[in-house]
Structure 1
Amino acid sequence: MSDFFDPGRWKPAPFLPASDARDGALTFVIAVLCFLACLTALGVIAADRASRGWTDQLTGEATVVVRPKSNETPDSAAARAAETLAGVPGVTEARAIEADKAEALIAPWLGDVADLEDLPVPRLVAVVLDPQTPASKRDMDRALKSQGLDALVDDHSAWMADIQRSAGMTRWIGAAIFLMIAAAAGAVVAFATRAGMAARREVVEVLHLTGAEDAFIARLFQTRFALMAARAGLLGAGAAAIVGAGLRLAGGGAGLTPVLPVAWSDLLAVLPCPLVAAAVAAVAARATAAALIRELV
């Protein structure tokens, strides 16, 4: 008799069950997609940081190739060029690179050359520019020509353009991958919604006959799959954060590799993942449920 007076015994059953046999597989698929999306975001952030670091480094430096004339030695020409550039406004430091270091720089391009003394190896001058008001290539060219020096100024603009172009391509590719993953998650949720509504066709018809609005019925499926996607997003984001932390710990201050320097602050990028996953699932489930309700009733 005690069960007869138990309020839980007479509590109406939910229109949708709290769990389904397919929930585990669906949660796993969405979690994997969220994991891949978070890794993509971490990779794009790290690549963008690397490109900005390289650009800043190249922006603050320049290299001058000095070709000695017939009446002077390469070392004296490089020293004179360094002295001239040191007086140009916007140049912090100008230093002639020693002959052995210059030969070491060109050795990879020439191969195993035993003796480079007979070759007309130019001398290099490393220039450090003022980060606030750097000297322009034109100013340095004008100063060198005024001293009768045959020199070529490389302000690394070509390299910076390549780096910036590569960084832009990385961002666009990362955004495309993220959108594809979001579309795949939406498709998975739409398929699960369609299967769930097909299995509960009678429930949907009864609800509709009793006066339930289509929006109310669609909201049942929307809430169910949004909560499921939020849990899956939390799992995927957590796994991605663990991988990112492992890469950061394995690589030290510069990350695992200078190409992808992962910072601790990058791990914050995975925080919106559960909300984004829930939003994508909610939109996909509601749109699919609304369309199927019109077909079923």
Structure 2
Amino acid sequence: MSEDTSRPTPPPGKPARLLPPDSGRDRPLFVVASILVFLACLAAIGARGAWSASEEWTADLRGAITIQIRPVDGRDAAADAETAAAMAAVLDGVAVASARSRDQSAALLEPWLGGDLPADIPVPLLVDVRLEDGAAPPVAALEAALVEAGITAAIDDHARWIEAVARSTRLARLLALGLLALIVGAAAAVIAFAARASLAARRDVADALHLVGAEDSYIAALFERRFFLLGVKAGAAGAFFAAAVTVLVIYGGGGGAEYFLPAVAITPLEILALIAAPLFAGLVASLSARLAVAEDLRKRW
């Protein structure tokens, strides 16, 4: 009788695996899991970016006021801007005040109106007033000084923008965190389905182990270890591509998007999250596989 060589023989001294890898089934699962980890990493980085942008924008708005000098016939708007800056600089709570030129004001309008504005367009001149830490905006005193000097101006203490920015960034954070939770849930569901399919494909192994006295926890642990390794590998691949896309966005972005989107940066926290992504993916995969297999085994025996 000839020996059956249809299955590979393990090397001498090395025991055969009870659950050997199956590339035909594992490869599609690896690809799907990698994509989910990739999306989860991008969602986490996006949530972190929204959080940082919210803190920076609200801090900038709270620590400054803006004086808008309106062009009026018979007056020199540039001189009025310099005068307003000098009057604001001596008020209590003001750290520094500086007048902006017409070119600088036009540059702020460039994303919406384009460059090379006609010279006869009346562009308001701005005075940037920076406040000391914790100081209240001296709006009333500044308004009185401007009226006394006969300067036609409007003062913006940014109060109406602070809540709008905070509300928008809170919504962006919640959406990013909600997307992250949905992706993790989808990954857990995919792994649970794959674990049940793997158990069904290896029913003879599970039955044999059960007949020789193996407990359900032991059988479930076999699937847990297998899917943990698969999750770690998929997590490493997904995190790598998420890091690559983030670097491309940082160094290859442009086209005016920086005016509307918060800047994405790789900080130690983002690096730590990307490094921890494979381990987290492995833990999610192993837990999902163990719970799914344990439930099926309880129903079977």
Q: Indicate whether the TM-score tops 0.5.
A: yes
Q: Retained in 2: the 8 A contact 1:84–1:144? A: no
Cα separation, partners in 2 of 1:78 and 1:141, compared to 1, 3 Å: farther
- Identify which of 127, 152, 157 aligns with 2:159: 157
Q: Retained in 2: the 8 A contact 1:250–1:256? A: no
Q: Retained in 2: the 8 A contact 1:186–1:281? A: yes
Q: Where do 1:41-190 residues align within 5 Å?
A: 41-65=44-68, 73=75, 75=77, 81-95=84-98, 126-134=127-135, 136-137=136-137, 139-145=138-144, 148-149=147-148, 152-190=154-192
Counterpart of 1:178 in structure 2: which amino acid?
Answer: L
Q: Distance in 2 between matches of 1:35 and 1:238?
A: 8
- Runs of 4+ off more than 4 Å: 6-12, 65-69, 72-81, 95-109, 112-117, 146-152
Deviation of the 1:233 alpha carbon: 0.5
2:221 maps to which residue?
219
Counterpart of 1:209 in structure 2: which amino acid?
Answer: L
Gaps in structure 2 of 5+ consecutive residues: 1-8
Percent identity over the alignment is: 37
> Normalized against structure 1, the TM-score is what?
0.78
Cα separation, partners in 2 of 1:228 and 1:79, compared to 1, 3 Å: closer
Cα separation, partners in 2 of 1:230 and 1:168, compared to 1, 3 Å: same
Cα separation, partners in 2 of 1:276 and 1:99, compared to 1, 3 Å: closer
Aligned length: 281
User: Please, which moves more after superposition, 75-84 or 215-224?
Assistant: 75-84
1:236 maps to which residue?
238
Q: Distance in 1 between matches of 2:109 and 2:40?
A: 42
Cα shift readout 1:184-213 (whole Å, capped 9, x = no counterpart): 111111111111111122222222222211
Gaps in structure 1 of 5+ consecutive residues: 1-5
- Identify which of 18, 23, 39 aligns with 1:36: 39
Could you say what the CA RMSD is over the residues aligned between the two structures, in angstroms? Answer: 3.6
1:281 aligned to 2:285?
yes
Q: Distance in 2 between matches of 1:154 and 1:18?
A: 66
Q: Distance in 2 between matches of 1:9 and 1:99?
A: 83
Cα separation, partners in 2 of 1:66 and 1:242, compared to 1, 3 Å: closer
Q: Retained in 2: the 8 A contact 1:16–1:220? A: yes
Counterpart of 1:236 in structure 2: which amino acid?
Answer: G
Cα separation, partners in 2 of 1:212 and 1:90, compared to 1, 3 Å: same
Q: Distance in 2 between matches of 1:207 and 1:95?
A: 80
Cα separation, partners in 2 of 1:104 and 1:236, compared to 1, 3 Å: closer
Q: Distance in 2 between matches of 1:148 and 1:79?
A: 15
For the residue of structure 2 that corresponds to 1:217, the secondary structure is helix
